[in-house]
Amino acid sequence: MPTAHADTQSTLPPELTRRILWRLGPLLVLMYVAAQLDRANVGYAALTMNAELGMTAAQFGLSTSLFFLGYILFEVPSNLFMHRYGARRWMARILVSWGLLSSLTSFVPNTQWFYFARFMLGVFEAGFYPGVVFYLTLWMPARNRVWMMSLFTMSIPLTGMLGAPVSTWIMEHASIFGMTGWRAMILVEGVPAMVLGLVAWFFLPDGPHALRSLSDKDRQDIRKALAGEEQAAAGAVQPGNARRALTSIRVWGLGLVYFGINSGIIGLLYFLPQVVKTFKGSADYSLTQIGLITSAPFAVAVVSVIAWGRFVSNKRINAYYVIGPMMLSAVSLAGALYLSSPLATVAVLAVGTSACFCSISPFWQMPSRILTDRAAAAGIALVTSIGVSSGFLMPWFIGWVRDTTGNFQLAFIAIAVAMTVGSVLALLLDTDRGRVAMPEPVLE
């Protein structure tokens, strides 16, 4: 069993951590905001796009599912390409290609072309999120990384907080080449990704070895801090053994935990605007007002994620830090739509939204205990692919429930069930939750 001293080594000096955070954090956050904006803006577009293209709620859900199908199919290959070619080149390629295609989606003439565009957007964006998760493992150990992941995760609710009012305002007021509002919005919101792709090409270092502002001592401190995790993980998955990572029961189990978390994210990002549209008296809401109401739960989540990340950054992460937020989110989302007051519904949705996002950064410390190097690139991509498969299954199901029942209540209960199952799996997978020392992972 590792000593307390070995555990202490798995932490970077505070001053070095701050410098890395300030160097990488702002760019990574902006990149993920652009990603979430290009994914989720169709949720706002659906307020008018569905009628223009003649789509039902189930057909809209299918278009969202097709995005995630493309994403899933190319997730692992994309992450392995990043491992081979480096973060700078591959991230720049991902950002420019998906930004361009996202803007071109504004010209689709019918539902079938919209399906195709969403599928290809998933193909082009594949590998971005797991790529960043893997990228951060090159810079800092789990105890420092949990705070960085909290900042990165904050990008999702931040996009909802800012994207909802901005997107609906553009839809209501912008006029570009005579386009309808949703088309103008999608055209404009693909541009930031392309710009950030160029920024990444020039300013994103491939790793500590490529960042000139680091001294030899800084690089040595980083290698020393990562050594303990790498040695522990070597007992589970050899650094170059990607195949073993892809066939690991524990890796697949972690993917199912992420499936539960991501089910909540999918329901909130893509369908919350339409949920607000079903509120009593919502017929009198303008698009901008729907956007402002939608942004409220995400605004609360931004603050919550930052506070939770600061709290858990000083803790030894185990499954309880994942399970607690997941179960709180499940209960909140299952009950929110049965409340008669729109204000109470939004308040409970804010709790559920915040808890859902707070579970993400502690969760991503679990795969790093058993995966390093090429195995980490493949294993993290697999965990993400399994989790993201909720984006293939849930949107169509949520849309079908809406078409069949006229509301989203049963759909949100299904989301809560998925999160509950994920919580149980997290508890079973984390054999280290009762220990103080570093884990000794074993892959079955």
Give DSSP secondary structure letters for 47-78.
HHHHHHHT--HHHHHHHHHHHHHHHHHHHHHH
Instruction: Quickly tell me which residue has 């309880």 as its tokens.
Output: 320
**Structural tokens at position 87:** 């973060």
CA distances from 336 to 47, 219, 328 (A): 21, 49, 12
pLDDT at site 5: 39
pTM above 0.85, yes or no: no
Contact residues for 5 (Cβ-Cβ < 8 A; gap 6+): none
pLDDT at site 373: 55
At 104, is the secondary structure helix, strand, or coil? Answer: helix
Of 270, 278, 257, 261, residue with least CA distance to 416? 261
**Structural tokens at position 56:** 């039902």
Which domains does the chain carry?
4-429 (1.20.1250.20)
DSSP string, 142-180: HHHHHHHHHHHHTHHHHHHHHHHHHHHHHHHH--STT--
pLDDT at site 229: 61
Instruction: Quickly tell me which residue has 């541009």 as its tokens.
Output: 191
Is 7 exposed, middle or buried (CB count within 10 Å of its CB: 0-12, 13-18, 19+)?
A: middle
* Residues in the chain where the model's pLDDT stays below 70: 1-10, 228-245, 283, 368-377, 431-444
pLDDT at site 433: 52
pLDDT at site 375: 64
Instruction: Quickly tell me which residue has 């971005």 as its tokens.
Output: 128
pLDDT at site 238: 45
Write phi, then psi, for 13 (nearest 5 degrees). Answer: -60, 140
pLDDT at site 377: 66
At 430, is the secondary structure helix, strand, or coil? Answer: coil
Separation of alpha carbons 273 and 296, rounded Å: 11
pLDDT at site 8: 42
Between vectors from CA 363 to CA 206 and to CA 309, what angle results, nearest 5°? 80
